[in-house]
Amino acid sequence: MIFGKQLMPLVIKMSKRQLNDFEAFRKVLSQSKNIVALTGAGVSAESGIPTFRGEGGLWRKYRSADLATPHAFYTKPHLVWEFYHYRRTIAFNAQPNDAHKALAKYEKLCEEQGHKFNIITQNVDGLHTKAGSRNVIELHGALHKVVCTNVKCGTVAENFDDPICEALRGRGDPMVREDLPMIDKKDLPKCKKCSGLLRPYIVWFGENLDPDILQQARDLVEECDICLVIGTSSVVYPAAMFAPLVAERGKPVAEFNLTEEPASDLFQFHFPGPCGSTLPRALNIQI
């Protein structure tokens, strides 16, 4: 809640809201030297990455949320790995769209101009990096990484093998409505250092974000001159609090989303439509 003198900047910003005004946005952006982009599933949806949220977020007969938990992995690691094998295959074969490419090109432009530009993403598909972005904080982990479940090891490593193990070859088809024969635990992905059972390097429901990564994100949000909210409904915490924090400091927030209405009255700019179309135009980037 905002009281007293803190309310004044918000009143000023709200009175100057410029929805769908590309020229005004570019002017504000050109005066910013520290830019942060917060991205969500809406960016990657245009590359064919399923969101796995809402009523349609089913894999076979399961809600994806029921498979993205420590309990699910403990009780049925073979089923969880089938689900993530499917997700990995989609991500590895997906290509960055124009929104990813625009952000990567804009990062290079900022470097040339001596400005700071960072991406904080809720996505785990790695498409920002594939597009060429380097300053990327992955809040929820990454599909191309695995972590050893052996508490004495805990090694985190990149892994682009597809399939990640032979037992998962040909598995994961979401159209198969019945469970396939269980894969023995000993045949699931193993750590190359200690042979312990691997799990996806993903922050699951019921788990906390890496405190170091969260602190890095907080520092960027607290220091930025402007925040771009791209392809996210801003409902998943703690990321949902980042843009409002920027607005509460009296700094502009620009939202790029499919929705016609802004997610918050505190956001100064709102650009409805596919991010692959609105973002390159707003950033004045040729793809």
Residue 140 is among the residues annotated as catalytic for this protein: yes
Flag whether 52 is marked binding: yes
Give every CB contact of residue 238 below 8 A, 6+ residues apart in sequence: 209, 214
Q: Is the dihedral of CA 24, 25, 26, 29 positive or negative?
A: positive
CA distance linking residue 242 with residue 236, whole number of Å: 11
Flag whether 40 is marked binding: yes
Flag whether 227 is marked binding: no
Flag whether 158 is marked binding: no
Q: Is the dihedral of CA 14, 16, 20, 26 positive or negative?
A: negative
Flag whether 183 is marked binding: no
Flag whether 45 is marked binding: yes
Flag whether 58 is marked binding: yes
Flag whether 54 is marked binding: yes
Flag whether 132 is marked binding: no
> What is the longest distance spanned by two Cα atoms in the chain?
63
DSSP string, 140-187: TEEEEEEEE--TTT--EEE---SSSSGGGTT---TT--SPPPPPPGGG
CA distance linking residue 254 with residue 243, whole number of Å: 9
Flag whether 268 is marked binding: no
Flag whether 114 is marked binding: no
Flag whether 17 is marked binding: no
Flag whether 123 is marked binding: yes
Among the options 100, 140, 144, 270, which is catalytic?
Answer: 140
Strand partners, 2: none
CA distance linking residue 110 with residue 80, whole number of Å: 40
Flag whether 199 is marked binding: no
Flag whether 90 is marked binding: no
CA distance linking residue 84 with residue 87, whole number of Å: 5
The H-assigned helical ranges of the chain are 7-15, 22-30, 41-45, 64-67, 70-75, 77-93, 98-113, 127-131, 211-223, 242-248, 275-283
Binding site membership: which residues? 40-59, 84, 87, 122-125, 148, 153, 191, 194, 231-233, 257-259, 275
Binding site membership for Zn(2+): which residues? 148, 153, 191, 194
Binding site membership for substrate: which residues? 84, 87
Which residues participate in catalysis according to the annotation? 140
